[in-house]
Amino acid sequence: MDNDITVLLRSRGFKVTPQRLAIYEVLYNSKEHPSAEMIFSRLQSVYPTMSLATVYKTIEILREIGLVQILNAGEDSFRYDANTDNHPHIRCLICGRVDDLEGVDSHHFINMIAKQTDYKITGQQFYFYGICPECQQKSN
């Protein structure tokens, strides 16, 4: 994985830097769809001088080379995901966590839509919201 990103960056004319590797590693090892701020603070101890702008600039490069996707879960900031497969997400309206919706096959639904529109569909995002298991328990 560390090799994948190194090769990819270089082949696309981007330099390989510790910051870029570190930011990707946070995303790659996380299932919580961190925001720029979350990535930034997670790396504070390792890279105390890192700028938030570096996080944003790096994410844009990672998106460009196809290593991350940008999620808009209806919050005031974006979330980022190293899983670039198009998969649906769900956000808890109480604690704010954003999770994957596992094991969902959207193909049938998407094909149905494609047949009913004159648009040429190139992508889609499905966002659900609700209450996560933990928050359901707490409210009982």
How many residues lie near its own copies (CB under 8 A)?
35
- Identity of the residue, 19 or 110, whose beta carbon is nearer to Mn ion in the bound complex: 110
Q: What's CA 135's distance to the chain center, in Å?
A: 23
Decide if 37 contacts 91 (C-beta within 8 A).
Answer: no
Min CB(125)–its own copies separation in Å: 5
Among 8, 21, 38, 94, binds Zn ion (CB under 5 A): 94
Can you tell me the distance from the alpha carbon of 6 to that of 46, in angstroms, rounded to the nearest whole number? 20
- Collapsing DSSP to helix, strand or coil, 94 comes out as coil
Q: Is 53 a binder of its own copies (CB under 8 A)?
A: no
Helices 52-64 & 18-28 angle (0-180, nearest 10): 70
Q: Which residues bind Zn ion (CB under 5 A)?
A: 92, 94-95, 132, 135
Q: Which residues bind Mn ion (CB under 5 A)?
A: 81, 83, 100
